[in-house]
Structure 1
């Protein structure tokens, strides 16, 4: 298989454009519109759910067993919990992230009367006033407050501005794209994953060849709070690959270079056969890769399984240093994942039986059970033609 050309300028511009659109969970209409418009420019048909999750399809030679890639457009953020008597705002986080990384963040507050800018600070923020107490202050969401950049000396002033409990607060990404390929920004989780998918769509469309089966491109809007891909899959989809961040940190095998294939997260192991296919595609196409296991992590794939979808799932990631904090990635990993996405989309169907939701043992997969056995892909092990049989029935 020949690797498709990756338009790195398009990948970089797409990521910049995505980062420029605030999209904390619960406030994703603008970015859903943006993604739909970009899919339309690339020539794909798309549809939205009621709340704004996006599903597009690149038609293949056959409907089933369809494949899907999924990333989420929503990011971490915050919400107004309480209007304080001192004119500041108490916050609760949207998604799971530490107030340690919120301190000093510039923000936009979305109210019914418009937007305001502000900064998240500890109550004791002035070193000239509090001296060493600044360094000994506790960490937590009850120990920070949002200073609004408007005349707000008390609760009544905040009410006059139209700020209210429940208003969404977006955190500035503050992106830096460096000449050496590193990217530092908030919200790389998972706007980088969205950019990877759009760049892969562009490469596949420009290549002009139909993949073996339909390829769905799914963009969810509530992954950071656990909903993810719980209600957007179609019965045709047999394999779902999440593209998200890998946790580059001490004790982890993820890397900021190459593709990181997750073997398991806190929801359990990923599909044995689908995961090994991704690894083999990396080996066959000289794509740098490593494997990892994530302990405190879940993705769109977990929400799909928990919602009852009978799909094979896998997770391939770009290594992120300081995930859910001050994040850093490298273009090498993004390019590797675009290449791997295209390779999988163009690869032959290995498990033809997956075209049916239910079937007998004919064509069912095998796993080695003793050290004398060697793992064989189902395609080699039992060359069935369930896909064509299914189409005949249709």
Structure 2
């Protein structure tokens, strides 16, 4: 078995610390600094891009074909759209999430003169005033407003406070870590993934394990708005595995326990060979897993491929209930994914051809089963040396 033991107390502590750092897309400097410090504490150096994407490389015996594991530090949030006549704030969302989950949320407005606290409320918030209309008003961002906890009864008052159009609004996570392993919070997507990568990196460093090839631990800063890993990968990377949330619920096969391996998202199927390798690693290492397909979902892997990176891409997820809302996960899934990450990092590279961007021959190129005979050893000629990434 190749998987390593994961320090779940460390994983939970890192996740709790990350959840308490506001980091909506576009306002990620503080959490980037925290992740960089944690990487240093683990004894690894890193590279930081202009805008804040992080690349930490665990050196392998060879440099190519390099692998990358990716999670994103940014979360959902909101921006000030308009200063309203009543001294409250109209909002637009950062990322895709329903105003239904914004109602009642405590929030922080990051303004020019400092931070202010407030609450997101429906336009008709008091039953003593609006009676049954509090339950019949529409749901949507035009029907909520942010009440600032300061003397603000007009746009002029808001300007005096330094609040203006475009200011970032961070939503409180309100995390709870329960003794039975469940974790309930906003923004588990994808701070759970970040904590997983750091816990896996800790296990690899503690073991003194050296991967066969360079392995890049990548933390992106704008996944929730579709940018993700589009500009965060080094040229030597030939395969990427994103770690993000899986969508549990009706019609889905994701689970809050074990690893959920995504077979496809809205951009299409993930790489056949890399995905099958992850499945085999789960089987060989006795890691609980299930497969799922996400119809209304894309991740760092998808953004990298859409941006034109010629890489094999896969996605492994921890099942989340009520994704992009008030989310719930279980430590079993986080630990299982971290174990799979360690097994993947230490696994051999079979597709050596991937070390080069192009090849003048099909020798070493991969094969996919086409008929029953081809799947039975001895009934067909031996293929060219190839396998999974």
1:222-250 deviations in Å (ceiling 9; x for gaps):
00000000111111101100000000011
TM-aligned CA deviation for residue 174 of structure 1: 0.1
Measured in 1, the distance between the counterparts of 2:39 and 2:295 equals: 34
Matched, 1:138 2:138: yes
Query: Which residue number corresponds to residue 333 of structure 1?
Result: 333
TM-aligned CA deviation for residue 154 of structure 1: 1.2
1:45 counterpart SS class: coil
Whether the 8 Å contact between 2:223 and 2:229 is mirrored in structure 1 is yes
Matched, 1:317 2:317: yes
Query: Which residue number corresponds to residue 392 of structure 1?
Result: none
Query: Which residue number corresponds to residue 174 of structure 1?
Result: 174
Query: Which residue number corresponds to residue 367 of structure 1?
Result: 368
Whether the 8 Å contact between 2:70 and 2:240 is mirrored in structure 1 is yes
Query: Which residue number corresponds to residue 12 of structure 2?
Result: 12
TM-aligned CA deviation for residue 375 of structure 1: 8.3
TM-aligned CA deviation for residue 273 of structure 1: 0.1
TM-score by length of 2: 0.97
1:87-130 deviations in Å (ceiling 9; x for gaps):
10000000000000000000000001000000000111001111
Whether the 8 Å contact between 2:190 and 2:245 is mirrored in structure 1 is yes
TM-aligned CA deviation for residue 384 of structure 1: 6.9
Whether the 8 Å contact between 1:265 and 1:297 is mirrored in structure 2 is yes
1:249-260 → structure 2 map (5 Å cutoff) = 249-260=249-260
Whether the 8 Å contact between 2:246 and 2:320 is mirrored in structure 1 is yes
2:374 counterpart SS class: coil
TM-aligned CA deviation for residue 156 of structure 1: 1.1
Measured in 2, the distance between the counterparts of 1:263 and 1:3 equals: 22
Matched, 1:100 2:100: yes
Change (3 A) 1:223 1:208: same
1:182-239 deviations in Å (ceiling 9; x for gaps):
0000000000000000000000011102110000000000000000001111111011
Whether the 8 Å contact between 1:367 and 1:375 is mirrored in structure 2 is no
1:183 counterpart SS class: strand
1:249 counterpart SS class: coil
Whether the 8 Å contact between 1:368 and 1:375 is mirrored in structure 2 is no
Measured in 1, the distance between the counterparts of 2:197 and 2:347 equals: 17
TM-aligned CA deviation for residue 382 of structure 1: 3.6
Q: Which runs of 4+ in 1 moved over 3 A?
A: 380-385
Whether the 8 Å contact between 2:365 and 2:386 is mirrored in structure 1 is no
Query: Which residue number corresponds to residue 357 of structure 1?
Result: 357
TM-aligned CA deviation for residue 164 of structure 1: 0.2
Equivalenced residue count is 383
Structure 1: gaps (5+ residues): 388-394
1:373 counterpart SS class: helix
The CA RMSD over aligned residues, in Å, is 1.4
Measured in 2, the distance between the counterparts of 1:262 and 1:375 equals: 27
Whether the 8 Å contact between 1:108 and 1:115 is mirrored in structure 2 is yes
Matched, 1:344 2:321: no
TM-aligned CA deviation for residue 136 of structure 1: 0.2
2:224 counterpart SS class: helix
1:66-87 deviations in Å (ceiling 9; x for gaps):
1100000000000000000001
1:366 counterpart SS class: coil
Measured in 2, the distance between the counterparts of 1:381 and 1:258 equals: 34
1:288-328 deviations in Å (ceiling 9; x for gaps):
00000000000001111111100000000000000001100
2:233 counterpart SS class: coil
Measured in 2, the distance between the counterparts of 1:242 and 1:33 equals: 21
Measured in 2, the distance between the counterparts of 1:384 and 1:179 equals: 46
Change (3 A) 1:196 1:263: same
TM-aligned CA deviation for residue 47 of structure 1: 0.9
Change (3 A) 1:91 1:5: same
1:96 counterpart SS class: coil
